[in-house]
Chains A and B, each alone.
Chain A
Amino acid sequence: MGIKVLKSGLHSTIQDIGRIGLQALGVGVSGAMDVYAMRMANILVGNNEKEAVMEITWIGPVLEFEQDGVISLFGAEMSPTINRETIQMGCPILVRKGDVLRLGVSKKGCRCYLAIRGGFDVSSVFGSKSTYSLGEFGGFKGRALQEGDTIYWNEVSLMKNLSSNWRLSPKLNHYQNNNVIRFVAGKQYSWFTENSQNVFASQLYTVTLDSNRTGYRLCGEQSLKVENDKELLTEGTVFGTIQIPQNGQPIVLMADRQPTGGYPKIGEVITVDLRVLAQKKPKDMIYFQPVSLKEAHQQLILLEKEIKLVKKIVNQKLEVES
Chain B
Amino acid sequence: MHSFHPLGDSAIIVHFDGDSSSEIHGKIVSLASMLQGSELDGFLEAVPSYTTLTIHYNPLLIGKDDPYEYVCRQVDLLIKKLPAHTDLAGRQVDIPVCYGGDFGPDLDYVASYHNLSVQEVIAIHMEPIYPVYFLGFSPGFPYLGGLLPKLETPRKETPRKTIPKGSVGIAGRQTGIYPLGSPGGWQIIGQTPLRLFSINQDSPALLQPGDNIRFYPISRQQFMDWGKEDGN
| Partner of A25 from B54, B66, B135 at Cβ < 8 Å | B135
CA distance A260 to B49 in the complex (A): 8
A26 with B138: in contact, given A238-B56, A240-B8, A269-B8 (CB under 8 Å)? yes
| B49-A300 in contact (CB<8A) | no
CB-based nearest B residue for A21: B45
Which stretch from B9-17, B86-94, B116-124, B186-194 is at the chain A interface? Answer: B9-17
Of the listed residues A135, A185, A241, A270, the one surrounded by the most CB atoms of chain B closer than 10 A to its CB is A135
| Partner of B52 from A134, A236, A241 at Cβ < 8 Å | A236
| A236-B60 in contact (CB<8A) | no
Instruction: Give chain A residues whose Cβ lies under 8 Å from the Cβ of B66.
Output: 294, 297
CA distance A163 to B199 in the complex (A): 44
Instruction: Give chain A residues whose Cβ lies under 8 Å from the Cβ of B204.
Output: 22, 25, 27, 126
| B45-A20 in contact (CB<8A) | yes
Instruction: Give chain B residues whose Cβ lies under 8 Å from the Cβ of A185.
Output: 6
| B51-A235 in contact (CB<8A) | yes
Interface of chain B: mostly helix, strand, loop or mixed: mixed
| B134-A260 in contact (CB<8A) | yes
A224-241 vs B: 1/0 string, CB under 8 Å? 000000000111111011
**Interface check A186, CB cutoff 8 A:** yes
CB-based nearest A residue for B7: A238
Residues 17 to 33 of chain A near chain B (Cβ within 8 Å): 20-27
A24 with B45: in contact, given A186-B7, A235-B13 (CB under 8 Å)? yes
B213 to chain A, nearest CB (A): 15
CB-based nearest B residue for A271: B9
CB-based nearest B residue for A137: B199
| Partner of B199 from A23, A125, A233, A269 at Cβ < 8 Å | A125
Instruction: Give chain B residues whose Cβ lies under 8 Å from the Cβ of A51.
Output: none
CB-based nearest B residue for A132: B139
| B50-A235 in contact (CB<8A) | yes
Instruction: Give chain B residues whose Cβ lies under 8 Å from the Cβ of A234.
Output: 49-50, 136, 143
Instruction: Give chain B residues whose Cβ lies under 8 Å from the Cβ of A271.
Output: 8-10
B152 to chain A, nearest CB (A): 16
CA distance A249 to B2 in the complex (A): 31
| Partner of A293 from B6, B15, B51, B143 at Cβ < 8 Å | B6
B209 to chain A, nearest CB (A): 7
A293 with B136: in contact, given A23-B45, A24-B32, A241-B8 (CB under 8 Å)? no
| Partner of B49 from A233, A294, A297, A301 at Cβ < 8 Å | A233
CA distance A260 to B137 in the complex (A): 6
**Interface check A196, CB cutoff 8 A:** no
- Please give the number of chain A residues whose Cβ is less than 8 angstroms from any Cβ of chain B in the complex: 40
CA distance A18 to B224 in the complex (A): 37
**Interface check A258, CB cutoff 8 A:** yes
- Please give the number of chain B residues whose Cβ is less than 8 angstroms from any Cβ of chain A in the complex: 43
CB-based nearest A residue for B32: A24
A105-135 vs B: 1/0 string, CB under 8 Å? 0000000000000000000011000000011
Instruction: Give chain B residues whose Cβ lies under 8 Å from the Cβ of A27.
Output: 139, 204
| B9-A235 in contact (CB<8A) | no
CB-based nearest A residue for B49: A235
CA distance A260 to B143 in the complex (A): 11
A268 with B7: in contact, given A25-B204, A300-B60 (CB under 8 Å)? yes
B51-94 vs A: 1/0 string, CB under 8 Å? 11110100110000011100000000000000000000000000
| A300-B59 in contact (CB<8A) | yes
CA distance A285 to B49 in the complex (A): 34
**Interface check B109, CB cutoff 8 A:** no
| Partner of A187 from B5, B48, B53, B209 at Cβ < 8 Å | B5
Instruction: Give chain A residues whose Cβ lies under 8 Å from the Cβ of B52.
Output: 235-236
Instruction: Give chain A residues whose Cβ lies under 8 Å from the Cβ of B180.
Output: 134-135
Instruction: Give chain A residues whose Cβ lies under 8 Å from the Cβ of B7.
Output: 186-187, 236-238, 241, 265, 268
| B45-A236 in contact (CB<8A) | no
Residues 92 to 149 of chain B near chain A (Cβ within 8 Å): 134-141, 143
**Interface check B197, CB cutoff 8 A:** yes
A184 with B11: in contact, given A26-B136, A236-B47 (CB under 8 Å)? no
CA distance A27 to B196 in the complex (A): 12
List the interface of chain A (C-beta within 8 A of B): 20-27, 125-126, 134-135, 137, 184-187, 233-238, 240-241, 258-260, 265, 268-271, 293-294, 296-297, 300-301, 304
The 6 sampled A-B contact pairs (Cβ below 8 Å) are A23-B56, A27-B139, A135-B180, A135-B199, A238-B8, A259-B47
